[in-house]
């Protein structure tokens, strides 16, 4: 029975192929597809006709800058849909948990909103305090506020240093010299070495990891006492501490600048060459070309670099380990409160940075 069905299917496709070949020889097949496409196009026109009329009455009457906003929202629609479907509910529940005590037992979670209990595991005689978890995170827990302040301070400093360093290295790598491809690969190599796969491999060799860290972060300090040297030449202590922190973080700066260098390098290569040619004809030096052409043209990408650097720094912070300890200990309320404080601090730092940069960013195609 199966063989009979197989033979019928084979004969059907053979007859179909012969028929199509005959129609193709008589030029009927292209005519057939042309008629099909005609009817399909008419159907698609009437199907999308309401959308076409809506576009003519709304989008076509908007200003150019408003049209750019609409197009941006259209491209962001998949991201917004994914956020609403997969991220909105956990975010709302985390916000509720931050004001609650959560008891998880038997695969179910009981939420005591605005309440906490002095004895863990004994949920009797609740004490009503809406901000108990936040008070615990900022007052009772000794490590979280200290690490949070250190993270904000280090992130602000690292963002400025990495942005400037990445831009200067990108300008250097954009020049023409022998071995340019190799040098570019060297500067991007730390991005690969900092991946999870390499970390897992190095974890198996703790001695190698210790040597790499000591050679990277303490190399300059091992040569001579930089702090004492700068104090003796009369520099202020505050400036000495700042410069010392930067020099001891050279290894870290190089390690976390690979992506930023690529962003700036792509931005520099997209600058129209006729601008540099016109500046060269007018007698401008390379120094003047950098400040008058390169920096303004790549300034929109500075915002991208700053956002990436801040988020990357917060993701690598020790605060994440402190927050995860609360999750491991099933303290879901404390974990949610610390997460929200951490997220709000990162958002505020991003908002301040973007507000400052928005005053100096230059957009070539803005009209």
Virtual CA dihedral for 153, 158, 161, 164, nearest 10 degrees? -120
Where exactly are the structural domains of the chain? 2-61, 142-358
* pLDDT by residue, tens only, the chain of 367 residues: 445 655 665 666 566 556 655 655 555 556 666 666 666 766 666 677 777 777 778 888 888 888 888 888 889 999 888 888 888 888 999 999 999 888 877 667 788 888 888 777 777 788 888 888 899 888 888 889 999 999 998 888 888 888 888 888 888 888 777 776 777 677 666 666 654 444 555 555 555 455 545 545 454 444 445 566 666 677 777 776 766 666 666 777 777 888 888 888 888 888 888 888 888 888 888 888 888 888 888 888 888 899 999 998 888 888 889 888 888 888 888 899 999 999 999 999 999 998 988 888 777 655 4
Place of tokens 């004994």: 122
Kindly give the pairing relationship between strand 100-105 and strand 127-128: unpaired
d(CA 355, CA 2): 72
- Ramachandran sector of residue 125 (left: φ over 0; alpha: ψ -120 to 50; beta: rest): left
Give me 153's structure tokens.
């301070």
Fold classified for 142-358: MetI-like fold (1.10.3720)
- Six token digits for residue 210: 């210790």
């Amino acid at each position: 029975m199966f063989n009979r069905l197989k033979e019928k299917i084979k004969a059907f496709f053979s007859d179909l192929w012969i028929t199509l070949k005959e129609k193709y020889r008589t030029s009927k097949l292209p005519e057939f597809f042309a008629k099909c496409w005609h009817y399909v196009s008419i159907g698609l026109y009437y199907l999308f006709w309401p959308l076409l009329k809506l576009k003519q009455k709304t989008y076509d009457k908007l200003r150019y800058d408003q049209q750019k906003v609409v197009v941006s929202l259209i491209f962001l629609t998949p991201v917004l849909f994914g956020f609403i479907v997969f991220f909105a509910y956990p975010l709302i529940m985390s916000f509720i948990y931050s004001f609650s005590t959560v008891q998880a037992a038997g695969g179910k979670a009981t939420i005591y909103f605005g309440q906490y209990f002095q004895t863990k595991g004994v949920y009797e005689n609740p004490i009503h305090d809406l901000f108990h978890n936040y008070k615990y995170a900022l007052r009772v827990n000794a490590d979280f506020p200290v690490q949070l302040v250190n993270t904000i301070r280090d992130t602000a400093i690292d963002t400025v240093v990495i942005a400037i360093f990445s831009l200067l290295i990108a300008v250097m790598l954009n020049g023409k010299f022998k071995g340019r491809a190799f040098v570019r690969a060297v500067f991007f190599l730390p991005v690969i070495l900092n991946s999870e796969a390499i970390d897992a491999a190095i974890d198996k060799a703790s001695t190698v990891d210790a040597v790499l860290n000591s050679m990277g972060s303490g190399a300059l300090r091992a040569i001579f006492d930089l702090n004492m040297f700068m104090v003796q030449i009369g520099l202020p202590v505050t400036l000495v501490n700042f410069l010392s922190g930067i020099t001891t973080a050279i290894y870290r700066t190089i390690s976390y600048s690979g992506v930023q260098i690529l962003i700036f390098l792509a931005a520099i290569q997209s600058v129209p060459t006729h601008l540099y040619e016109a500046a060269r004809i007018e007698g401008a030096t390379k120094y003047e070309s950098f400040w008058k052409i390169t920096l303004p043209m790549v300034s929109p990408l500075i915002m991208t670099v700053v956002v990436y650097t801040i988020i990357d720094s917060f993701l690598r912070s020790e605060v994440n380990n402190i927050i995860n300890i609360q999750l491991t200990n099933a303290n879901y309320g404390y974990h949610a409160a610390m997460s929200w404080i951490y997220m709000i601090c990162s958002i505020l730092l991003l908002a301040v940075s973007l507000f400052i940069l928005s005053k100096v960013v230059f957009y070539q195609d803005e009209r």
